[in-house]
Amino acid sequence: MDKLHLIREMEIVFNGLKLGIILAFLIGPVFFTIIQTSVERGFRNGVLVSLGVSLSDVMYVAICYFGLVQFINNPQFRFYLAYAGGGILILFGIYHLFVKSRMRMIAPINVASEKKMYRYFVKGFIINGMSPMVLIFWIGAISIASLDFEYSKGFEFFIFFSTVLGTVLSADILKAYLADKLRTLITHRLMTIINVVVGICLIIFGSRLIWTAGDFLKS
């Protein structure tokens, strides 16, 4: 019986790893934000963004698990969330495009001396948390875990999503580390280009959310 339990748990971890890797390689506003922060502000601040993203993911998984999926699936709720999330992404994009891109490149700030280091954590939380697509993804993930994998027990559910979330967080931290190591190759001109690209991408993602908001009312 113990051997069967071990095999079952290994299977749950393996399925969690697969789903986590898929999520980790999705290209979206979070991806660009982690890269940009790590290049400009260093590895530790990139990790803070990643932790903020991870907390918002944990929050959504908890919301789904405790039976609020019906509320999240409400078309009107998703419609307004699309406008709010899109607006926030556009504001971040405008800031990067017209403010950050014009700032002079500075040496990375040590986290210990950063008075407002929490802002990077909050930034990751907001950018990830205000996207309706993140909600939709986790609703789908809950459905896969419950219906396809039949992880109906609390313990199995916990192992599966702990693995998924741990894999995603590890991948985000790895992105921050690699981006930080490449910082020595970054010039002021390239940093300006990166900020412009990040700004444009955030504006595109935000505009797309607002443009498709009406589709949520049709679903």
pLDDT bracket for residue 109 (50, 70, 90) = very low
Instruction: Of 31-45, 71-85, 163-177, give the lowest mean pLDDT range.
Output: 71-85
Region of residue 134 (phi > 0: left; psi between -120 and 50: alpha; otherwise: beta)? alpha
Alpha-carbon dihedral angle through residues 166, 167, 168, 171, given to the nearest 10 degrees: 120
The whole-chain average pLDDT of the chain stands at 76
Q: What sign has the CA pseudo-torsion 75, 76, 78, 79?
A: positive
Helix (H) or strand (E) segment spanning residue 209: helix 188-211
Rounded to a whole number of angstroms, the distance between the first and last alpha carbons of the chain is 45
The residues spanned by each domain of the chain are 2-218
- Residue 203, pLDDT score: 84
Is the CB of residue 105 less than 8 Å from the CB of residue 152? no
Report the C-alpha gap between 140 and 145 in whole angstroms: 9
Q: Is the dihedral of CA 140, 145, 148, 150 positive or negative?
A: negative
Residue reference for tokens 């993911």: 57
pLDDT for the residue 213: 73
Q: With a threshold of 0.75, does the pTM exceed it?
A: no
Q: At what angle do helices 29-41 and 75-98 cross, to 10 degrees?
A: 30
Residue-wise pLDDT tens digits, 157-215: 888 889 999 999 999 999 889 888 877 776 667 767 877 877 787 788 778 778 877 77
16 versus 195: the higher-pLDDT residue is 16
Is the model's pLDDT at 143 over the cut of 90?
no
139 close to 69: Cβ distance less than 8 angstroms: yes
- Determine the Cα–Cα distance for residues 145 and 149; give it in Å rounded to an integer: 5
The whole-number average pLDDT for the span 136-165 is 74
Please give the Cα distance from 93 to 201 (Å, whole number). Answer: 7
